[in-house]
Amino acid sequence: MEAFVQKLTDMWNGMDWTYAVQFVAFAAMFYIVFKVLKENKGGKFTAILCIGVFVLGLACSFSENISSQTLLILIFIAIVVVVTMFNVEIKRGMLDSGARRHFSHSDMTVGHIEKIIQETIRAVQDMSKTNTGALIVLSNENLPEGIISSGTVVNADITAPMIEAVFYPKAPLHDGAMIIEGDKIHAAGCFLPIIQNDNLPQELGSRHRAALGVTSVASVTAIVVSEETGIITIVKNGEVRKRYATDIDLKNALSQYYWSDLTAEN
């Protein structure tokens, strides 16, 4: 312990700008790695990282062969590993950080939200019964402007007849995605990035690929109704969360959006 204290004392007495820069760089890199792991539920990786940094810190204190530069290199390697493993999550986080923020969750009452959820579920189930293809994106106002501008801004109240009218096969906007933001249908007929994955099942068509694509780059939830089978699918975080979704599954997804996702983002 005395050696450790003496080491810290010597470093403090002899500290110059080089040490200061190294310390700031180390803190910044450690924070980036820690934040990415924590936000993406990498609990085990976070624990390993903290233990590793602690052990290396002790090693640097008691060994003359391990320098602070070595520690920085190891942390840099850790960053490369984290970026490689969580590149989709990092991209999604960067997109969210620059998102538009003008919607207030407090504008809606409990009764109003419950009505919106019921109307959306009714529309999705009605379209499922008639095999009407649909793609609905529940957005936290964090989609790129290019996606919104690719469609038509609607800014309409959320009702079952309105949703079904948009996706009516002969309607001009039925092929694109509907973007819901809070209590409004913000836009319709929007084009989304389509995921390129040859390993996806054949029954997942272009709407499903678009849902997987947009949820891979933005923290949104997508609801898909298959035009061929009428099957309802819920997609989030770049993966199919529920195939053959029921009214209970839809209610859970919509409740998560209104009571958790929107609140967390604002």
Residue 180 has pLDDT above 90, yes or no: yes
What's residue 29's pLDDT?
Answer: 64
| pLDDT 10s digits, 55-73 | 655 555 555 555 555 655 6
Provide the token pair at 238: 């770049």
| pLDDT 10s digits, 145-162 | 889 999 999 999 999 999
Residue 97 has pLDDT above 60, yes or no: no
Lowest mean per-residue pLDDT among 12-21, 185-194, 202-211:
12-21
pTM over 0.95: no
Q: Which residues pair with 236 in a beta bridge?
A: 221, 239
What's residue 159's pLDDT?
Answer: 96
Sort 139 into a burial class: Cβ within 10 Å, 0-12 / 13-18 / 19+: buried
What's residue 199's pLDDT?
Answer: 75
Query: How far is residue 135's CA from residue 188's CA, in Å, rounded to a whole number?
Result: 10
Q: What is the mean pLDDT of residues 17-21?
A: 58
